């Protein structure tokens, strides 16, 4: 499994708390579209088919604790 870059990991951690794209964007001072792009890249790298699976994979692999 390839490790995600720091920004993807940060946004993935925020998504794992249940925050939506708009909330994450506000927290990190970026656009919701940028959040979506980073999370989609993380999904592709980790082989997740949706956001829920992405969060589950992140917890199981230790990317998010």
Question: Any idea what the CATH number is for the domain that residue 32 is in?
Answer: 1.10.10.10
Q: How far is CA 26 from the centre of its chain?
A: 15
CB-side neighbour CA atoms (13 Å) of 20: 1
CB 39 within 8 A of CB 9: no
**Structural domains in the chain (count):** 1
CA dihedral 17, 19, 20, 23 (to 10 degrees): -150
Q: What is the pLDDT of residue 23?
A: 97
Mean of the pLDDT values across residues 37-47? Answer: 92
**Domain that includes residue 43, residue range:** 6-61
Three-state DSSP at 19 gives coil
Asked whether residue 20 carries a pLDDT value surpassing 70, the answer given is: yes
Asked whether residue 3 carries a pLDDT value surpassing 90, the answer given is: no
H or E stretch including 43?
helix 32-46
* pTM score above 0.75: yes
Whether 1 is covered by a domain: the verdict is no
């Amino acid at each position: 499994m390839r490790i995600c870059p720091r920004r993807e990991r940060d946004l993935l951690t925020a998504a794992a708390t249940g925050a939506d794209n708009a909330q994450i964007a506000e927290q990190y001072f970026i656009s919701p579209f940028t959040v979506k792009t980073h999370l989609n890249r993380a999904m592709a790298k980790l082989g997740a088919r949706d956001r829920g699976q992405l969060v589950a994979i992140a917890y199981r692999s230790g990317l998010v604790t």
